[in-house]
Structure 1
Amino acid sequence: MRATLRWAHSDLRRHRGEALFLVLATAGIVASLLLAAALFGYATNPWQRTFAETRGAHVWIHTASSADTGRLARLDGVASVAGPYRTESVTVASRGTRASVELRGTARLPSVGRPLLTAGHWLDPAEPDGVVLESGLARALLAEPGDTLTLPGTPRTLTVEGVADSAEPSYSPGEQPGLVWALPAALRTPGGQVIGLRLADPADTDYAVQRAVTALGAGAVGEVSTWQQARAAAQGDNRLLGQVLGLFGLGALIAAGLAVHGAIATRIRGHLRDLSVLKAIGFTPGQVVRIFLLQHLAYALLGAVAAAALTQTLGSRIPGRLGDAVGVWQGLPGHTMALLAVPVGAVLFIGLTTGLAAWRAGRVPPVPVPRPAVSAGGRLTGPARRALGTRLPAALVLGCHKLLTGRGRSLTGVARLTLPLLLIVVALSAWTTLDRFHTDPARVGLPTSLTVRTDGAPAPADLHSLLAGDSRVAAVYPGVELAALVPGQTATIALRGLGTDARPYPCALAEGRAAHGPDEAVAGQGLLDLLHARVGDWVRMTVGDRPQILHIVGRSIEPQNAGRVVTASLDTLRENDPQLAPAFYELRLRPGADPHRVAAALTTAGRGHLDVHAVTNPADGLSPLRAVVAGLIAVLALIGLVELLTAIGGSVREGERDVLAFKAIGMSPRQITAITVTATSATALAATLTATVLGLPLAHRLIDAQGASSGIGAGIARSPSPGLLLALGTATVLGAAGLATIPAARAARKRLADTLSAAA
């Protein structure tokens, strides 16, 4: 045991930098995987817990006031119902912020879809104008119990009595109205009703929706939402962040395992004589294997324990969503198991790769095997001799010759270094794609910056003139959004009429062409997937009791409503319903215009009749991804450093015999050093080029696959700029050259007797 510890201590002193990088890389990998687990738990468990505690309804159906919803409780598979409740769509304002809301007349606290009060109290009949706000809406309005909400354009006011959590979709400006519970007497002009169905088997949701719509009649159904849609909305971008962390964490773990394997294999080749001596003095093969295995397991264990401890103690203090996710995750039931399983799994994987490499050390014979008479590089090839004849620098020619004739070892070294660089290229592509959402939103489905809604005054013609009269507004597109039932009546989608035939809405197309003829429309990826359709198909949907048949001529990049959107011109929809009037206006601003200042100016000009808000950019919720990508790049860079140190150590050891020949023909130590530096730089250059060639299409596939699965659609991926890729390649090559200079110079300046001894 003492000899084993002395060997490990000696090896640690000789490779301190490599050991440090392995510990740091392992810590970064384990931290990434733990944060991924936290984000997955944060994305799913809070909503699931709220749904269970509120006994949430699996289906919510908005119907006309005349619909006979009582028959839905008698449908097979319906365990219980919530409501029906009368509803009224209004706009409320608080502290200068407006929001479109649904007032839901609720006489008493329901048993299905029961709101969980987080502040204040439930509705009191003594306060007829009292309301309870859904927590997401309360945060948007900065409202709390005791505050007064106004209804712009009317003398009505509402008093906030409480704030409650709900498993229904939370408020989203321009997409999802906020939910407000009120006493039935507080509803002045009810426009419909809503009923919730709690099913005996949630897997039968689509079938239950189909039967409910059939029972009520398609013309009576306005909108259908399911628990799957609510869960997806609640998970939001947290699941995406978790997927990114998990994917890169696993990739980095594989790269780290290969780095450890390569480092041990290189070290074994350089210590064949020492290993033979250990065997000769009585070390068994198992003891030799344990020397390497325990040493690198200690490195991995140290990094894993440090990552787990830091995540547990400081993770909740990370600013933003990551810190919130860790804080929630620490209170979930599976937290302790994940905190133990992830570090243990990472250590075991590294131990497996270490054991495979260390097994070769146990097979080293006790009697040293003479090294081959010909060096690893072999004799000079014809091209190398001709290159020397053209008076190219000898160091450049011999360095490239050393790499190209290194057989499998050179290719293995290039492959191991390629993996972390490839992951870095993918990470940079994700960063660039995210930046594009901010710098060029028009090309990712967000051509407009503001949405304007009105309470009916002024008249549409006057309102259009008011909006277009602002010099900072480049274009005004009238629009309307209708809830439409898809064939089979299992879900509702958004049917939008935007722009006119004279001034079409500039949809961002990823496939096909723009809609400019009768009955033509473009659709999002989510809609095409839902209908199992593709560009060129005709699709039929139902708006109330009116069928609408459209020809899908293009696929648009649609970041809203999970891509379940079909967009035609307002004139096209008016052909089916001539009474259709604009419900909102989309504004495209001139370059450099501040959306918030324009919104404030238009709100003032509208004299309280306009609700103006900025278009939601999905990239706003992905701001933590920047820090995640930066951290992952740092971890991958550490793994790349380990690979470079391994390649440099192997190149120096295998070139010890060549030093004799180079000195014999009169080469200076500087020239001999340049050969090793050139070989290492060429390895880094080959790995960088391979990573770029393979990483760019891989990044496009991964990002577009994520876009397609989220409903936005493929076509959003963007590659890093050539300058950024050039900077990555330059940094890698120059870093490799810098790291190789000192050990190569030491080897070139060894005394002749030392070199002869090492080469024997």
Structure 2
Amino acid sequence: MRATLRWAHSDLRTHRGEALFLVLATFGVVVSLLLATALFGYATNPWERVFTQSRGAHVWIHAGASARTAGLAGLDGVESVAGPYPTAATTVSSRGARASVEIRGTDGRPAVGRPLIASGRWLDPAAPDGVVLESSLARALLAGPGDVLTLPGGARPLTVLGVADSPEPRFRQGERPGLVWAPPSAVPAGGEQGQVIGLRLTDPADTDYAVQRAVTVLGAGAVREVSTWQQARAEAQGDDRLLGQILGLFGLGALVAAGLAVHGAIGTRIRGHLRDISVLKAIGFTPGQVTRLFLLQHAAYALAGALAAAALTEAAGGRLPGRLGDAVGVWQGLPGHAATLVGIPAGVVLFIGATTALAAWRAGRVPPVPLPRTAAPAGGRLPGPLRRALGWRVPPALVLGWHRTFTRRPRSLATIVRLALPLTLIVVAMSAWTTIERFHSAPERMGLAAALTVRADAGSGDAATRALLARGPGVAAVYPGVEVAALVPGQTATIALRGLGTPADPYPSTLAEGRPALGPDEAVAGQGLLDLLDVRVGSWVRMTVGGRPQILHIVGRSIEPENAGRVISTTLDTLRENDPELRPTLYQVRLRDGADPRHVAAALSASAGRGELDVHVVTNPADGLSPLRGVVVGLLGVLALIGLVDLLTAIGGTVRESERDLLALKAIGLSPRQITAITVTATGCTVLASVAVALAAGLPLSHWLIDAQGRSSGIGAGIAQVPSPLALTAFGAAALLGAMALAALPAARASRRRLADTLSAVG
């Protein structure tokens, strides 16, 4: 044991840089996996906690004011109900911000769907004008306890008593109204009146069946909207789950790359230390001891990196800025936190140990007496094309460097694959970054043709509203329309049905499949709707709008970033065929290039006056992915470090082989500079081949992964963007030039070795 420790200590002093890189690579892999686990827990835990503590309803049904909802409590499978509560749809303003809301009349604290007070207090009979805001609505209005909300039409203002968390679907500007709890006496008489009832089920898996029975009892014409706990949970997970998936994917990829890097490092070191291993066996080391020596030495490097990563994540992870810090803080409070904190580092160390076991076993198979090495150039005779290239006065460094790279095929192929894996993941990360940037730079190509959404009262004049919007600064086009909630076939869920534009002036939907909806009864749909109804482009679908059937022919699939893709869009004229009295209440405003949406929105709101129009900027889904940029940068650093370990391993192996060929190369008259150029060229050829493999595999892989994520989120495939040719060229040039620069110094040192040293190395 003492001899083993002394040899390990001597080897560590000789190869400090290599040991440090292995430790840092393991550190980066473990940190990535721990943060991915934290984000997965953060994506689901807050909603689960609120749903459990509030005894949330599994189904919320919004119906007309005259609907008879009392009979729903007696349905089979319904454990208890919340409400029914009277509601009114209106808009409120606070500190210059405006939002569409649903004011819900509530007596006391409900037993089902009970809001959890986050700040302030609950409704007080002594404050008849006091209300409680749902937390996402409060953030949008910048409102808190004590603030005053202004209602349209001169109604008496409301005072905010508190802010509460709820497991119901969150407020989304322009898509879903915010929730305001108020005493029944404070529900305004104006606006759209209705009622809402929540059903808590004995078996949450029967949600769709329960919705069907409830709609049957009430009648399809009485039901305006249905929301389920699955939809609310999916929305709550949102971008955090996506970040967790990306971190987990890259963490696992980096783990495989790190394992291969360690395996390659051990194999190269064994080939370079055959004499040392023979000496160890000559002084009494058994094959098993030599195997354990190499295996435990590299397992110790991995253990050091894993322990450092776990300790740092536990101690400082909660201090990370933004969502990552919040995620780590929530994760640290979960019951399985301790097991995960131990299990992930242990799993990484075991995986790296397993990948290095074969190379270490080969070290144990080295004979006690080393076999004599040949002094002939590696790779045997030059092939005919290369000999002719020398005759054409191609520099010998290029010819012999190419020959050295591609004549030892098994070893060269393994090196190229090890280098290509982290480079492939880097290409995928670059593609993810490019896709996010495209959402910002070219939103019209990502399903966001309109920059502003304007909502007007049903009584507003269409011509006057369109003229007012068209005069706005920077406005390029205005598309009138309506958006209503429609019940899908089977009446198990609601979707968004939009009528936008006219056949003469159609709304410019971003199509990923099919053609625009221009003819009668034609429509385009988002991926989320196609998945929900299990239909394809070309299918006819039937839905119910206000008790009236609406049959549409889906002729295209559009990129739909809103409402999880559960959107079907047709022309306004098509909807008017079913309801001739339909008037536009929604306007999509497209701006000219360079116009600032926020400035235009402010100008339109000011010109309308008296709160007649609700103008807001369309939410870009890439805004919620801003933390991903920092994540991508961190991942690129980890992958670059792993690639550097592989590169140094490849350079070390190439330099050792050049030492064996040094006598032959000098005998044919090559100078030290030419011998150095051979090693640099061989390294460059290896890296160039790895970059080619990375581009060939990474570009289609990134396209598939991003589109798969788009399909699962409801946006749909067709959003993937690959980096520009200039960026890919810069990536390949940086990898090639960096590798050649790293190889230059050790190659120059090896080419100037004394002949006596070379003779001892090959003897």
Give the TM-score, by structure 1 length: 0.99
Does 2:195 align with 1:193?
yes
Give, in angstroms, the shift of residue 373 of structure 1: 6.7
Report the counterpart of residue 351 of structure 2 in structure 1: 349
User: Relative to structure 1, is the Cα distance of residues 637 and 237 closer, same or farther in structure 2, using a 3 angstrom cutoff?
Assistant: same
Structure 1 residue identity aligned to 2:544:
T
Three-state SS of the structure 2 residue aligned to 1:230 is: helix
Code of the residue aligned with 2:738 in structure 1: it is G
Structure 2 residue 652 is the aligned partner of structure 1 residue 649 = yes
Aligned-partner SS, 2:82 = strand
Shift of 1:684: 0.2
Counterparts of 1:467-546 in structure 2 under 5 Å?
467-546=469-548
Choose which of 250, 257, 260 in structure 1 pairs with 2:259.
Answer: 257
Secondary structure in 1 matching 2:153: coil
**Cα deviation digits, residues 368-417 of structure 1 (max 9, x gap):** 22335755311111111111111100000000011110120001100110
Q: Does 1:242 align with 2:244?
A: yes
Q: Is the 8 A contact 2:375 2:661 kept in 1?
A: no
> For residue 644 of structure 2, what is the amino acid of its counterpart?
L
1:360 to partner: Cα distance = 0.9
Secondary structure, counterpart of 1:409 in structure 2: helix
Instruction: Give me the whole-angstrom Cα distance separating, in 1, the residues matched to 2:93 and 2:334.
Output: 36
Aligned to 2:746: 743
Distance 1:736 1:126 in 2: 75
1:191 alignment partner, SS class: strand
How far is 1:246 from its partner? 0.3
Match of 2:701 in 1: 698
State whether structure 2 residue 567 is matched by structure 1 residue 551. Answer: no
Superposition CA RMSD, Å: 1.2
Describe how 1:394-405 pairs up with structure 2 within 5 A: 394-405=396-407
Of 649, 665, 669, the match for 1:666: 669
Aligned to 1:237, the other structure's residue is in SS state: helix
Q: Give the whole-Å Cα distance in 1 for the aligned partners of 2:324 and 2:660.
A: 53
Amino acid at match of 2:729: L
Task: Give how far 1:455 is off.
Answer: 3.9
Deviation at 1:221, TM superposition (A): 0.8
Q: Is the 8 A contact 2:375 2:762 kept in 1?
A: no
Alignment map for 1:196-211 (pairs within 5 Å)? 196-211=198-213
Inter-partner Cα distance in structure 1 for 2:679 and 2:120:
73
CA distance in 1: counterparts of 2:60 and 2:642, whole angstroms: 51
Counterpart among 591, 612, 630 of residue 615 in structure 2: 612
SS of the residue 1:180 aligns to: strand
CA contact (8 A) 1:476 1:588 kept: yes
Partner of 2:432: 430
Q: What is the alpha-carbon distance in structure 2 between the residues aligned to residue 205 and residue 184 of structure 1? A: 29
Please say if residues 153 and 609 of structure 1, whose CA atoms lie closer than 8 Å, have aligned partners that are also in contact: no
Once the 2 structures are TM-superposed, how far is the Cα of residue 13 of structure 1 from its aligned partner?
2.4
The whole-number CA distance in structure 2 between the counterparts of 1:176 and 1:362 is: 67
Work out whether residues 537 and 554 of structure 2, in 8 Å CA contact, stay in contact via their aligned partners in 1. Answer: yes
- Offset, 1:30: 0.8
Q: How far, CA to CA, are the matches of 1:448 and 1:153 in structure 2? A: 29
Following superposition, the deviation at residue 215 of structure 1 comes to: 1.5
Corresponding residue number in structure 1 for 2:93: 93
Q: Distance in 1 between matches of 2:455 and 2:659?
A: 78
Give the Cα separation in 2 of the matches to 1:551 and 1:191: 32
Farther-moved stretch of structure 1 (366-375 vs 479-488): 366-375
User: Does residue 333 in structure 1 map to residue 339 in structure 2?
Assistant: no
Candidates 571, 577, 590, aligned match of 1:575: 577
Structural mapping, 1:74-93, within 5 Å: 74-93=74-93
Moved more, 188-197 or 265-274: 188-197
CA distance in 2, matches of 1:137, 1:42: 21
SS of the aligned residue for 2:661 comes to helix
Are the equivalent residues in 2 in contact too, given 1:457–1:609 (CA < 8 A)?
no
What per-residue deviation string (whole Å, max 9, x for no partner) do you get for residues 450-485 of structure 1? Answer: 111234564222111111112411111112111111
Post-superposition shift, 1:283? 0.6
Matches of 1:650 and 1:120, distance apart in 2: 68
Corresponding residue for residue 755 of structure 1 = 758
- Indicate whether 1:162 and 2:165 are aligned: no
**For residues 535 and 231 of structure 1, do their structure 2 counterparts lie closer, same or farther at Cα, with a shift above 3 Å needed?**
same
The answer to whether structure 1 residue 454 and structure 2 residue 456 are counterparts is yes
Report the Cα offset of residue 656 of structure 1: 2.1
Paired AA for residue 111 in structure 2: S
Partner letter of residue 199 of structure 1?
L
User: How far 1:592 moved relative to its partner?
Assistant: 1.1
Q: Greater shift after overlay, 743-752 or 422-431? A: 743-752
Q: Does the C-alpha gap of structure 1 residues 518 and 458 become closer, same or farther in structure 2, counting only changes over 3 Å?
A: closer
Conserved in 2, the CA contact under 8 Å of 1:540 and 1:549?
yes
Give the letter aligned to residue 743 of structure 1: P
Q: CA deviation at 1:667?
A: 0.8
Superposed CA deviations along residues 40-61 of structure 1, whole A, max 9, x for unmatched, are 1110011001000000000001
- Give the unaligned 5+ runs of structure 2: none
Note if contact 1:153-1:455 (Cα within 8 Å) is conserved in structure 2: no
CA distance in 1, matches of 2:462, 2:669: 91
C-alpha distance after superposition, 1:247-304 (max 9, x if no partner)? 0000000000000000001111111121111111101122212221222122111211
- Secondary structure of 2:152 counterpart: coil
SS in 2 for 1:273: helix
Q: Which residue number in structure 2 is paired with residue 121 of structure 1? A: 121
TM-score (norm 2): 0.98
State how far apart, in whole Å, the 2-side matches of 1:127 and 1:753 are. 98
Q: Which moved more, 1:430-439 or 1:592-601?
A: 592-601
Aligned twin of 1:130: 130
TM-aligned CA deviation for residue 6 of structure 1: 2.2
Take 1:210 and 1:356, find their aligned partners in 2: how far apart are those partners?
59
CA distance in 1, matches of 2:459, 2:737: 66
Query: Residue type matched to 2:39 in 1?
Result: L
Correspondences of 1:384-423 after superposition (within 5 Å): 384-423=386-425
On the 8 A contact 1:525/1:711 being kept in 2, the answer is yes
SS in 2 for 1:446: coil
**Alignment partner of 1:367: what SS?**
coil
1:367 aligns with 2:369: yes
Letter in 2 for 1:742: L
Partner in structure 2 of residue 319 of structure 1:
321
Q: Distance in 2 between matches of 1:645 and 1:15?
A: 11
Alignment partner of 1:655: what SS?
helix
2-side partners of 1:337 and 1:97: how far apart?
Answer: 45
| Identity level (%) | 74
Partners of 2:437 and 2:153 in 1: CA distance? 40
Q: What secondary structure sits across from 1:114 in the alignment?
A: coil
- Match of residue 622, structure 1, among 622, 625, 633: 625
The structure-2 alpha-carbon separation of the partners of 1:339 and 1:594, relative to structure 1 and needing over 3 Å to count, comes to same
In 2, distance between residues paired with 1:595 and 1:534?
Answer: 35
Determine if the alignment matches structure 1 residue 713 to structure 2 residue 713: no
Which residue identity does 1:34 align to in structure 2? L
Amino acid of the structure 2 residue aligned with 1:235: Q
- Flag structure 1 segments of 5+ consecutive residues without an equivalent: none
Query: Match of 2:592, as an amino acid?
Result: R
Moved more, 485-494 or 417-426: 485-494
Which amino acid is the alignment partner of residue 542 of structure 2? R
Q: CA deviation at 1:332?
A: 1.7
Letter in 2 for 1:58: H
Structure 2 residue 105 is matched with structure 1 residue 102: no
Residue 730 of structure 2 corresponds to: 727
In 2: Cα distance, 1:506 partner to 1:49 partner: 41
Q: Report the counterpart of residue 53 of structure 1 in structure 2.
A: 53
One-letter amino acid of the structure 2 residue matched with residue 461 of structure 1: A
Q: Is this contact kept in 1: 2:130–2:160, CA < 8 A? A: yes
**Which stretch of the first structure deviates more once superposed, 329-338 or 100-109?**
329-338
In structure 2, the partner of 1:562 is: 564
Contact 2:266–2:360 (CA<8 Å) still a contact in 1? yes
